[in-house]
Chains A and B, each alone.
Chain A
Amino acid sequence: MTDARKDIDQLIAKLAEQGYIASSAIATTLYIAQQLERPILIEGPPGVGKTELANATAAMLAKPLFRLQCYEGLDESKALYDWKYSKQLLYVQVLKEQLHDILDGTDGLANAVERLHNFDDIFYSERFLEPRPLLKSLQSENGAVLLIDEIDKADYEFESLLLEILADFSVTLPEIGTLKATHKPLVILTSNNTRDLSDALKRRCLHLYIPFPEAKLESRIVQSRVPAVPDELRRQLVNFVHGVRKLDLKKQPAISETIDWARSLLLLHCNSLSRELVEDTLNVLLKYEEDINMVSPELHGLIKRADSNL
């Protein structure tokens, strides 16, 4: 039992090597996903490192990452596989002559067709198959990490398409048959929660919710991403961001914004937060005019609080 804890701690350490500071909940889910060979569905506000987790995991496992960005209208010919239509046509044109030779000496239509039947469905074989990310990840030699990003943006029917892959790690192509994964890939799905996903999809996945991190964890994340920021400033800016998140904003600043802000403060060579400085760089942190207007009058208090509490 303590083995599991040890493994998970190790996982956290290994992810940290890739620059990803994982909370215990994240590492536990990742560990279980590996043990159970289940996909992970990650939800959470934008910018908390959902996609980044997939990148870090792929780097950690030293496996290729196949990324499928979802959008409305995505269908199987773009996600799963397609036939190399032009190649098929080209071959048909080129092989016209060959066909003459093959059919030479046959008498009657029935015989000709009979002889053609001996050549199977050559134009619908794997050679003419154009694998897309989903199929690629199933066919990879040594396993892979498959990232299906922002699944909530895809259509409903695309979710149904995914079910077979998520449950059995296999794909059924009508023309060829069922292709099974050589090595089961680690599948990570992310969702921004713009709509509810179907229960069937959820049932097949482990669910991980990544909220905004606590101040301590966020401070460590900033430290790992922007190591040059002095400790004092880091503490201040993380506290400041946490103060800002308590306000009713249109878009709350996420971790990625905190990191960007830390970088820009570093560029400006400052060692502590001051009112002017924050005013000038607030647009890095907040992406809406209304939000900036909302935060501006509160700046004094926010900076003071960021300075005082730990």
Chain B
Amino acid sequence: MDETLLQFIRHLRNHGLAISTAETLDAMRVVATLGYSDPSLLRDGLASCLAKTVDDHSNFAECFERFFQTQVGAHPNETSDTTSDKPSDDTENNGEGDGAGEGEGAGAGAGNGQGSGGTGSSQRDSATLNEVIRAAAEAGLENIQFRTQRGVYRRKILNALNDEQKQSDIQQLLDAGEDEQAHLLEQLRQHQIATVKEVIDRQLLLNNDAAGKQLRDATLKDTSLSAMEHYHRERLPPLIRKLAKKLASRHRQRHKRARRGKLDLGKTLRRNIAYGGIPFHRFWKTTRKDKSDIFVLCDISGSVSAWSRVLLLFVQALSDVLPNTRSFIFCGQSIEVTDLFKQYPADEAMAIIQQRHGLGGSDYGLALNSFWNQIEDKLNRRSCVIILGDGRGNGGDTGIEALRSIYHRAKLVLWFNPESHYSWNTGDSEIRRYQSASHYVAECGSLRKLERLLDQLLSLLR
């Protein structure tokens, strides 16, 4: 097994590239044909079988650079045939051996990332580094996942390096009064500890805190948005895009299958009368599927603006599979923002919307009435209307009549309420009244709930 390659692939995975086992096998064959000697060749070769999208390519190039640079001296070992190209290392290690009083098994079991070493003072550094890297491999450093594990691994590596023995050696020397010798040893020991720290930090960087990120993503999906820190909200857009991509790929396939034709018997017979009724030419029935329109109306007033943001981002990310979608937002008057999303990237568009129209309490009466006026002539039995809001109109006009007109005209009116079910109909919440004029009122407390709702919606629309 080619351990270096496997490590590299783990490194890539930690940086978000999805690499399957089949691709790993391919990569091994690539390495077998190309070898490690020509970096640029190796990069191009591996890129072709490991990076499968344009984004992945740039990501890959970065990872490649970083990984093979940290493999000090850039000579990844090719499994067991390390004997021929490491003579210089052996001598260095031996030379350093008596100075450090350690004499580690020099060269023989050379671990990965052998340093080729420089001259003079850097020679000692690289020898220390070699030792540390070997010890780190022993301690299983490459499995480090969280920042908090640094201490544990430092302990393990230092143990592998026989640090305690060294400490007691120094103590003995001090007791014996050989201060100078002890001082020298102590200096070397400190240098080693510093190196261990460096190696651990570098490995952590390589692993990119992948497990930590995974954990965070999983938590984010289930957390209620209102309870989320601002810092974590920044992390949402990529997550939303990821979820949307999953949804999109699931629903795209189903869509295509529904459009198969059947034999049009009547037409086939008619057209083949000339051949005595023998059906030389066949004709197929084609089914035409009417496209449905989706109208999204989002409350962006203070209380639920975070949710509107998420829903709008979600809808934009789904534009691939969702039919014609028009987005509206409101505080007071309803305003169409579909064009903004066409002009700017989603994040930027959201910022513009928030800046231009944000803030203020929601006025449902004005919002629903103006919404109805704008879409009245576009609504038909294929339209689906999604409204996101908490239904708290501050005691003002509810606009229930407008909603009822929409309800009668459209195929589906969905109301997404970010509030928890228990607080509906408390205080100034008018959700019960809105319930009577929409097909379904759903609670979308967390990202996962919203994902499920949209999933169902997509199946329904197809």
- Measuring CB to CB, which residues of chain A are less than 8 angstroms from any residue of chain B? 1-2, 4-5, 8, 24-25, 28-29, 31-33, 35-36, 38, 40-41, 43, 85-86, 89, 93, 155-157, 193, 195-196, 198-199, 202-209
Contacts and interface: CB of A to CB of B under 8 A. Distances in A.
Contacts of B44: 24-25, 28-29
A155 B280 contact: no
B93 to A, nearest CB: 27
Contacts of B37: 1-2
16 contacts: A1-B36, A1-B38, A4-B35, A29-B48, A35-B33, A36-B29, A36-B33, A41-B52, A86-B280, A156-B256, A199-B18, A202-B52, A202-B53, A207-B47, A207-B48, A207-B49
A40 B26 CA distance: 13
Contacts, number: 92
Given A198-B249, A203-B20, 19 more contacts: A2-B38, A4-B38, A24-B40, A24-B44, A25-B44, A28-B41, A28-B44, A32-B49, A36-B33, A41-B52, A85-B282, A89-B278, A89-B279, A157-B257, A196-B249, A203-B52, A206-B26, A207-B47, A209-B54
Nearest to B23: A203
A183 B282 CA distance: 35
Contact of A1 (B30, B34, B53, B257): B34
A187 to B, nearest CB: 14
Contact of A157 (B38, B47, B249, B256): B256
Contact of B54 (A40, A43, A203, A206): A43
A24 B48 CA distance: 12
B249 A36 contact: no
Given A35-B33, A36-B29, A195-B320, A156 B48 contact: no
B264 to A, nearest CB: 16
B252 interface: yes
Contacts of B30: 32, 36
Given A43-B54, A208-B48, A89 B280 contact: yes
A186 to B, nearest CB: 14
A28 B48 contact: yes
B200 to A, nearest CB: 33
B45 interface: yes
A290 B30 CA distance: 46
Interface in B26-69: 26, 29-30, 33-38, 40-41, 44-45, 47-49, 51-54, 57
Contacts of A35: 29, 33
| Secondary structure of the B contact surface, majority rule | helix
B22 interface: yes
Nearest to B320: A195
Nearest to A7: B33
Given A29-B48, A202-B52, A203-B20, A5 B278 contact: no
A204 B279 CA distance: 41
A250 to B, nearest CB: 14
Contacts of B257: 157
Interface in B377-427: none
A4 B48 contact: no
A69 to B, nearest CB: 19
A293 B274 CA distance: 58
A30 to B, nearest CB: 9
Contact of B45 (A32, A86, A209): A32
Given A28-B41, A202-B52, A203-B22, A1 B256 contact: no
Nearest to B40: A24
A207 B35 contact: no
A4 B279 CA distance: 58
Contacts of A43: 54
Contact of A8 (B41, B278, B282): B41
Nearest to A195: B320
A85 to B, nearest CB: 7
A4 B49 contact: no
B253 interface: yes
A119 B51 CA distance: 53
B54 A193 contact: yes
A209 B57 contact: yes
B176 to A, nearest CB: 54
A207 to B, nearest CB: 5
Contacts of B47: 25, 207
B186 to A, nearest CB: 45
A5 to B, nearest CB: 6
A146 B320 CA distance: 30
Contacts of B245: 196
Contacts of B249: 196, 198
A85 B278 CA distance: 12
Q: Which of A2, A199, A206 has the most CB of B within 10 A?
A: A206
Contacts of A25: 44, 47-48
Contact of A156 (B29, B34, B252): B252
B38 A32 contact: no
B38 A38 contact: no
Contacts of A208: 48
Contacts of B279: 89
Contacts of A202: 52-53
B269 to A, nearest CB: 14
B278 A36 contact: no
Nearest to A2: B37
A57 B205 CA distance: 42
